Amino acid sequence: MSYARSLANSGIQLANAYPLAASLLLGFGAITIAKFCYRTLSLKRYGAKKGAWAIVTGTSDGIDKEFAFQLAKAGFNVFLVARNLELLDTAAAEIASKYSVSTQTASIDFAKDDDAAYEILSQKFQGLDVGVLVNNVGKSHAMPVYLVDTPKEEMADIVSINVNATMRVTYSILPGMIHGKRGLILNIGSFAGAIPSPMLATYSGTKAFLATFTSALAEEVRQHGITVEHINTYFVVSKLSKIRKSSTLIS
């Protein structure tokens, strides 16, 4: 029996054993693909190839970096925001040389929730025609741990990065999008927000917040031609997930 057939049979057996889980995964997958195709086909409405900027937070590696490259490929100038300025500048140089778009970078430690730092960041956004915002910066626990054993600093960092950073960066960008009567905001979530995850309680709770926040904000700004979407990720190779190798179920 070939490897492919063996894999297919294993998948069928798993689906038969866990029909509800299989259906949910297939449903989530179909929805994600449909949304991705829709966005790819309609990016011009948000200013692609018309001088608009895409702002991506957390752009050091993984999903965030891939978003930055794909948005540059689609024709957006790209503004990268994260803590490590050296990594940001390296990624920006790669993007500029590969896609011939303009790039900017800004360093901020989202864990500090520093008002002055956010004000400086907001000023850097002024005057830019921002068509897309990807709120991807995030932090999880160093390891699975019970809430009572979680360091207070770790909990505070997770809330500051996963919740406050999304709200505050969005708050800075929204006025310009409303004025321009168009925009796309993508809030990157996690399956841990859809499925309560014991021993990751703080992280799970912050990711659940993103889903509700996204839905509420989407209704507020729909009248201004702004689309706000929540994208749930599953198993992905990244520093945050601590997964090092891709496979059939890990991208």
Residue 146 annotated as catalytic: no
- One of 50, 124, 203, 245 is an active-site residue; which one? 203
- One of 46, 118, 139, 207 is an active-site residue; which one? 207
Cα–Cα distance measured from residue 195 to residue 68, given in angstroms and rounded to the nearest whole number = 28
Residue 65 annotated as catalytic: no
Residue 147's nearest CA partner among 157, 155, 139 is 155
Is the distance from CB of 190 to CB of 233 less than 8 angstroms? yes
Cα–Cα distance measured from residue 59 to residue 86, given in angstroms and rounded to the nearest whole number = 11
Burial class (CB in 10 A: 0-12, 13-18, 19+), 183: buried
Residue type, 239: K
Query: Side-chain half-sphere of 106: how many Cα atoms within 13 Å?
Result: 18
Cα–Cα distance measured from residue 145 to residue 151, given in angstroms and rounded to the nearest whole number = 10
Supply the residues annotated as catalytic.
Answer: 203, 207
